[in-house]
Chain A
Amino acid sequence: MLTASHLTRRFGSRLAVDDVSFELVPGEVFALLGPNGAGKTTTLRMLAGLIEPSSGSVRFKGDTMSPQTAPRLRGQIGFLTEAPGLWERLDVRRNLLVYARLHGLPKPNQAVSQALETFGLLDRANDIAGQLSKGLKQRVALARTLLHKPSVVLLDEPTAGLDPESAREVRELVLRLRETQNTIVISTHNLDEVDRIASRVAVLRTRLIAFDTPAALRARLFGTRLRITLGQAAAPFASTLIASGFDDVRADGPVLSIAVSNEPSSAPLIVRSLVQAGADVFSVLAEEPRLEDVYLRLLENEDQSASTTMNGPPAA
């Protein structure tokens, strides 16, 4: 569907994006994470055909993005920019109508009415855009982004600055889009949001630090762990488990945290060992580190790797 191949972008001597490659499939929500200035917006702009890569390419449904093909391909891409970018003196309907006509929709008025209904904006259609709340402006901007029914949707920080209710509306919309087989690329700092909606995550800091499903990233960095809550202090039972062959067992109050290589087969074995040792097992859960921890660990690892590269390997 959408392929970024060795995307690199320089602005003068500054390297904004370095050798970024990924391939996206229909129905996927792909999250771009990274600190400010990591190259997320530049990557989105290259995907949208707004700026050209210094090297590498973007391919969309078999076509390579170029100055010649970009106007046509942009018609199949929806790009929600960081700012809503509404014409503040015009009303909501007129804002959408201009875009319906810019996209060459055959029945622009009908398309606008449909979008207003879909986004719950019918009663605000005649309101001046400049007088809307931030959340409503973002909703109008989203309606504008999806007006022409694009197959790829690029969202640059869609919930930034929104209240929790508006942010949830945006998330629900993204999930609805995923169901209709849209490919969604979302750039955000909201890791909780990513955890809820993204099927794959890329962590970007000029270059791609990591690219995988959230679960795989967690497993890679923290391993798989089980969290078992007992009816008594957990510490005495830690040695039982170590004796059963589990190397990494931590006890904290009534809770045991155990590193396992295979969660489905390990859980019954652990529970059996604990019960035989006299423990009362209240609950067994797969322990999931927060995505924030995964993200911070990735950046830390990257910092350490960069520092090692700069200082050379440690002396033996």
Chain B
Amino acid sequence: MTRILALLDKDVADLRQNPSLLIPAVLTGLFSLLLPFVIAIIIPVFADERLSDSSDFEIVVETYKNQPAMRGLDPEGTIQAWIFQHFLVLLVLTPIAGSMSVAAHSVIGEKQARTLEPLLATPITTFELLAAKVLGSLLPALLLTAICFSVYVAGVVIFAQPGVYRALFTPASLGIVFLLGPLASLAALQLAVCVSSRVNDPRSAQQIGVLVILPIAGLLVVQLTGSFALTGPVIMFIALALLGVNTGLMLLGIRLFDREAILTRWK
């Protein structure tokens, strides 16, 4: 554990010296934060037309008006709550996309800087090295999630109708942000670190790691179409599946990490 913390501490210190690695995260975060506000608040103001005036949202109001978190809201508030609740999934993408560049550089970066060989010459094991590298990307991701969620809630409290914010504090919403988000991030980052220890170019790792984003984006789309809902049991099932995936990815990472190939074949 000491060795994991030592390397983690180094990675965090390194990231603080090179904050530009987090630019993609900030940009994705801004996009994820702004998009629901544009749809639910800004467009209706500029179009001078309430969302509830559109017949497209009638079904949303009918379906959700009796949900505990939306009780007492008028139709406009119900639609806003529905939009802000569903776009939480998009918020989950922020830390993944943001930390992908950090994870993709994790092993290749050490090799390119010629710091990997002295590191491997210490008693550190492959598990400790990979765990430190994954955590080094995950911690900024989790911090970003917390910041984005706080800003999101504050924005909803300030700009949406009173009471809409309650939709963000249902068990399902919190499960998406604080359970599925970190587990999906962990899977994506582990995948990127695995790939980072097998390829010679960080871009390859980044591209492959981003593949994890596709199912999450798909989840957002099917949710918005109403054909699928992230209820409590569904969230628990996905969380368990992600836990299995993460365990498998760690074992795979240890198996794939080939010290010899990294030291002797990478240029």
Interface SS majority for chain B? helix
The number of residues on chain B lying at the interface, defined by a beta carbon within 8 Å of a beta carbon of chain A, is 28
Stretch at the interface among B1-9, B199-207, B239-247: B1-9
The answer on a CB contact under 8 Å between A75 and B123 is yes
The answer on a CB contact under 8 Å between B263 and A45 is yes
Across the interface, which residues of A come within 8 angstroms of B113, CB to CB? 85, 87-88
The answer on a CB contact under 8 Å between A89 and B259 is no
- The answer to whether residues A48 and B121 also contact, given A81-B114, A83-B114, A85-B114 and a CB cut-off of 8 A, is yes
Kindly identify, within residues 127 to 176 of chain B, every residue whose CB is under 8 Å from any CB belonging to chain A.
none
Q: How far is the CB of B75 from chain A (nearest CB, A)?
A: 54
Flag whether A72 is at the interface (Cβ < 8 A).
Answer: yes
The answer on a CB contact under 8 Å between A74 and B122 is yes
Q: How far is the CB of A92 from chain B (nearest CB, A)?
A: 13
Across the interface, which residues of A come within 8 angstroms of B119, CB to CB? 85, 102
Flag whether B115 is at the interface (Cβ < 8 A).
Answer: yes
Q: How far is the CB of B14 from chain A (nearest CB, A)?
A: 6
The answer on a CB contact under 8 Å between A94 and B13 is yes
The answer on a CB contact under 8 Å between A86 and B115 is yes
Interface residues on A, range: 20 to 34
Flag whether B58 is at the interface (Cβ < 8 A).
Answer: no
Q: How far is the CA of A89 from the CA of B10 in the complex (A)?
A: 10
The answer on a CB contact under 8 Å between B115 and A85 is yes
Across the interface, which residues of B come within 8 angstroms of A99, CB to CB? 118, 122
- The answer to whether residues A51 and B263 also contact, given A85-B113, A89-B14 and a CB cut-off of 8 A, is yes
Q: How far is the CA of A84 from the CA of B115 in the complex (A)?
A: 8
- The answer to whether residues A71 and B124 also contact, given A86-B115, A101-B2 and a CB cut-off of 8 A, is yes
The answer on a CB contact under 8 Å between A101 and B118 is no
Q: How far is the CB of B115 from chain A (nearest CB, A)?
A: 5
Q: How far is the CA of A101 from the CA of B132 in the complex (A)?
A: 13
Across the interface, which residues of B come within 8 angstroms of A94, CB to CB? 10, 13
Flag whether A144 is at the interface (Cβ < 8 A).
Answer: yes
Q: How far is the CB of B260 from chain A (nearest CB, A)?
A: 5
Of the candidates B2, B7, B121, the one whose C-beta lies within 8 Å of that of A74 is B121
Across the interface, which residues of A come within 8 angstroms of B3, CB to CB? 101-102, 104
The answer on a CB contact under 8 Å between A85 and B118 is yes
The answer on a CB contact under 8 Å between B125 and A89 is no
Q: How far is the CA of A71 from the CA of B2 in the complex (A)?
A: 14
Across the interface, which residues of B come within 8 angstroms of A185, CB to CB? none
Q: How far is the CA of A62 from the CA of B116 in the complex (A)?
A: 28
The answer on a CB contact under 8 Å between A104 and B10 is no
Q: How far is the CB of B118 from chain A (nearest CB, A)?
A: 4
What are 19 A-B contacts with C-beta separation under 8 Å?
A: A45-B263, A50-B120, A51-B259, A71-B124, A83-B114, A85-B118, A86-B115, A87-B113, A87-B115, A88-B113, A89-B14, A90-B13, A98-B7, A101-B5, A102-B3, A103-B123, A104-B2, A104-B3, A144-B118
17 further A-B contacts with Cβ under 8 Å, apart from A51-B264, A75-B123, A85-B115, are A11-B264, A50-B120, A51-B260, A74-B121, A83-B114, A85-B119, A86-B115, A87-B115, A90-B10, A90-B13, A90-B14, A90-B17, A99-B122, A102-B3, A102-B122, A104-B3, A104-B123
